[in-house]
Amino acid sequence: DSYISGNNNLLQTLIGHSSGSGSGIPLLVQRTIAKQIRIERQIGEGRFGKVCLANWRGEHVAVKIFTTINDQSWLRETEIYQTVLLRHDNILGFIAADLKVSAGGAQMMLITEYHKRGSLHDFLKENTIDTAQLVVMARSIASGIAHLHEPINGTHGKPCIAHRDIKSRNILVKTDGECCIADFALAVRYDSRRNEIDIAPNSRVGTRRYMAPEVVNDTIDVTSFSAFKAADMYSASLVFWELCRRSRQNWPVGGSPMLQADEYMLPYANLVGSDPSLEDMHLVLIIQGARPDIPMRWKCDNRLRVISELIQECWHQNANVRLPALRVMKTLRKLEDSETLENIGIHHV
Ligand code: ADP
Ligand code: MG
Ligand code: MG
- The contacts of residue 322 (CB under 8 Å, 6+ apart) are 230, 233, 234, 313, 314, 315, 316
Q: 348 versus 173: which is more confidently predicted?
A: 173
Asked if residue 347 has pLDDT above 70, the reply is no
Residue 91, pLDDT score? 98
Task: Give the position, in ligand 1's atom list, of the atom nearest the Cα of 46.
Answer: 3
Residue 233, pLDDT score? 99
Please indicate whether residue 331, judged by its CB atom, sits closer than 6 Å to ligand 1: no
Neighbours of ion ligand 2 (CB under 5 A): 170, 183
- Percent with pLDDT over 70 in the chain: 88
Residue 225, pLDDT score? 95
Instruction: Give the Cα separation of 212 and 320 in Å (integer).
Output: 12
Choosing from 165, 183, 232, 301, the catalytic residue is 165
Dihedral over Cα of 30, 32, 34, 40: its sign: positive
> Are residues 244 and 298 in contact, defined by beta-carbon separation less than 8 angstroms?
yes
The number of residues in the chain equals 349
Please indicate whether residue 50, judged by its CB atom, sits closer than 6 Å to ligand 1: no
CA atoms within 13 A on the CB side of 238: 28
Confidence of residue 48 (pLDDT cuts 50, 70, 90): confident
The pLDDT mean for the chain works out to 88
Task: Give the position, in ligand 1's atom list, of the atom nearest the Cα of 110.
Answer: 6
Task: Give the position, in ligand 1's atom list, of the atom nearest the Cα of 182.
Answer: 6
Asked if residue 341 has pLDDT above 80, the reply is no
Q: Which of 138-142, 331-335, 338-342 has the lowest mean pLDDT?
A: 338-342
Please indicate whether residue 44, judged by its CB atom, sits closer than 6 Å to ligand 1: yes
Q: How many Å lie between the centroid of ligand 3 and the Cα of residue 183?
A: 5
Q: Which of 60-74, 107-121, 235-249, 312-326 has the lowest mean pLDDT?
A: 60-74
The conformation of residue 180, written as its DSSP 8-state character, comes to E
User: What one-character-per-residue DSSP string does 59-116 give?
Assistant: EEEEEEEE--TT-SHHHHHHHHHTSTT---TTBPPEEEEEEEEETTEEEEEEEEE--T
Order of strands across the sheet with 105-113?
38-45, 49-56, 59-66, 105-113, 94-102
Residue 251, pLDDT score? 80
Residue 70, pLDDT score? 58
Q: Nearest 5 degrees, angle CA 26-CA 29-CA 33?
A: 135
Please indicate whether residue 208, judged by its CB atom, sits closer than 6 Å to ligand 1: no
Please indicate whether residue 246, judged by its CB atom, sits closer than 6 Å to ligand 1: no
Residue 5, pLDDT score? 37
Q: Nearest 5 degrees, angle CA 42-CA 46-CA 47?
A: 140
Residue 183, pLDDT score? 96
Please indicate whether residue 112, judged by its CB atom, sits closer than 6 Å to ligand 1: yes
User: What angle, 0 to 180 degrees and rounded to 10, lies between the N-to-C axes of helices 325-343 and 302-314?
Assistant: 180
Asked if residue 2 has pLDDT above 50, the reply is no
Among residues 235, 265, 89, which one has the least CA distance to residue 166?
A: 235
- 10 Å CB burial of residue 58 (0-12, 13-18, 19+) is exposed
Provide the β-strand partners of residue 41.
Answer: 53
Residue 245, pLDDT score? 98
165 as an active site residue: the answer is yes
Please indicate whether residue 163, judged by its CB atom, sits closer than 6 Å to ligand 1: no
Asked if residue 16 has pLDDT above 90, the reply is no
Residue 71, pLDDT score? 67
The ligand whose atoms approach the alpha carbon of 60 most closely is 1
Q: What is the mean pLDDT of residues 190-207?
A: 86
Among residues 152, 345, 132, which one has the least CA distance to residue 248?
A: 132
Among residues 107, 108, 88, 105, which one has the least CA distance to residue 10?
A: 108
Instruction: Give the Cα separation of 193 and 239 in Å (integer).
Output: 32
Asked if residue 292 has pLDDT above 90, the reply is yes
Q: Which of 7-11, 66-70, 333-337 has the lowest mean pLDDT?
A: 7-11
Residue 57, pLDDT score? 92
Task: Give the position, in ligand 1's atom list, of the atom nearest the Cα of 48.
Answer: 3
What's the pLDDT tens digit per position in 240-276? 999 999 999 988 777 787 888 999 999 999 999 999 9
Q: How many Å lie between the centroid of ligand 3 and the Cα of residue 152?
A: 26
Neighbours of ion ligand 3 (CB under 5 A): 183, 185
Instruction: Give the Cα separation of 216 and 91 in Å (integer).
Output: 27
**Taking the complete model, does pTM exceed 0.95, yes or no?**
no
> Are residues 105 and 195 in contact, defined by beta-carbon separation less than 8 angstroms?
no
The ligand whose atoms approach the alpha carbon of 110 most closely is 1
**Count helices and strands in the chain by DSSP H and E runs:** 10, 12
- Percent with pLDDT over 90 in the chain: 70
Enumerate the H helices of the chain as residue ranges.
Answer: 7-15, 32-36, 73-81, 120-126, 131-149, 213-216, 225-245, 278-282, 302-314, 325-343
